[in-house]
């Protein structure tokens, strides 16, 4: 079945450093979504990418969808302590999503 | 609007006991989902309901049953709990605005321990 792999599993950075997490699918995706989960919280939707090669920005966050629509990345510039949490990518089908295992980000002040 | 609500927040069961996790949404969404989250494994889909009156199996349905009671409510039942079902359970809902747009809204989760 369809699988979505996400790397790295865990990353810790010093505040102000950049951070990137990568997502790869075994099949072509109709869309890719990104979610953030704060410690002890629930996943919260960040963004959706639909088009091949699409790039979207949200303040310090940059999301990319690969040309083949099989991979995606999330880059955070100049991390802050508020960025702490787990970032999940999720590959979209019509009725359901397949989630990656997530990348847990720790930010040290 | 409360969004997606789940009850209970915490539950401890003994092996073999049964229980039902409740989920309700007030966003008039057609689709609802149940996930379990285990450390290092992300979110795995248990069951989903694309619309009122329909339910389908997800990735890990064994040991669970669901009921889509009405458009608002989607419950998850464990008939005979096992320690392997110790997990955090999330309910989510979405509105399928287009064929490719299906942002999901998650409830706060139920932390279940089976002894």
Residue with tokens 């869309």: A31
Query: Is B40 at the interface with chain A, CB within 8 A?
Result: yes
* Residue A86 C-alpha, separation from nearest chain B C-alpha, in angstroms: 9
B52-107 pLDDT, tens digit each = 889 999 999 999 999 998 999 999 999 999 999 999 999 999 987 665 667 899 99
Burial of B106 (0-12, 13-18, 19+ CB in 10 A): buried
Contact between chains at B56 and A95 (C-beta distance less than 8 A): yes
* Residue A79 C-alpha, separation from nearest chain B C-alpha, in angstroms: 23
Asked if A41 and A26 count as a contact pair (C-beta separation under 8 A), the reply is: no
| pLDDT band at residue B40 under the 50/70/90 scheme | confident
Mean pLDDT of all residues in B13-28: 97
A24-48 pLDDT, tens digit each = 998 898 899 999 999 999 999 999 9
A11-21 pLDDT, tens digit each = 999 999 999 99
- Count interface pairs A-B at CB distance under 8 A: 62
A63-105 pLDDT, tens digit each = 999 999 999 999 999 999 999 999 999 987 666 788 999 999 9
Nearest CA in chain A to B34: A96
Nearest alpha carbon to residue A60 among A45, A43, A70, A46: A46
């Amino acid at each position: 079945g369809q699988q979505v792999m996400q790397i790295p599993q865990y990353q810790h950075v010093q505040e102000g450093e950049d951070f990137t997490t990568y997502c790869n699918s075994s099949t072509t995706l109709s869309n890719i979504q990104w979610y953030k989960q704060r410690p002890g919280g629930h996943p919260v939707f960040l963004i959706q990418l639909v088009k091949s090669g699409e790039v979207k920005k949200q303040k310090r966050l940059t999301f990319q969808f690969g040309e083949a629509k099989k991979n995606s990345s999330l880059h955070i510039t100049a991390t802050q302590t508020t960025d702490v949490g787990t970032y999940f990518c999720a590959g979209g089908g019509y009725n359901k999503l397949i989630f990656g295992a997530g990348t847990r980000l720790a930010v040290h002040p | 609007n409360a969004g997606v609500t789940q009850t209970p927040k915490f539950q401890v069961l003994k092996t073999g006991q049964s229980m039902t996790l409740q989920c309700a949404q007030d966003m008039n969404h057609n689709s609802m989902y149940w996930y379990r989250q285990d450390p290092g494994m992300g979110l795995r889909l248990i069951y989903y309901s694309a619309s009122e009156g329909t339910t389908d199996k997800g990735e890990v349905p064994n040991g669970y049953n669901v009921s889509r009671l009405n458009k608002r409510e989607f419950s998850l039942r464990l008939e005979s709990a096992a320690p392997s079902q110790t997990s955090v359970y999330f309910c989510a809902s979405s509105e399928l605005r287009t064929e490719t747009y299906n942002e999901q809204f998650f409830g706060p989760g139920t932390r279940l321990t089976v002894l």
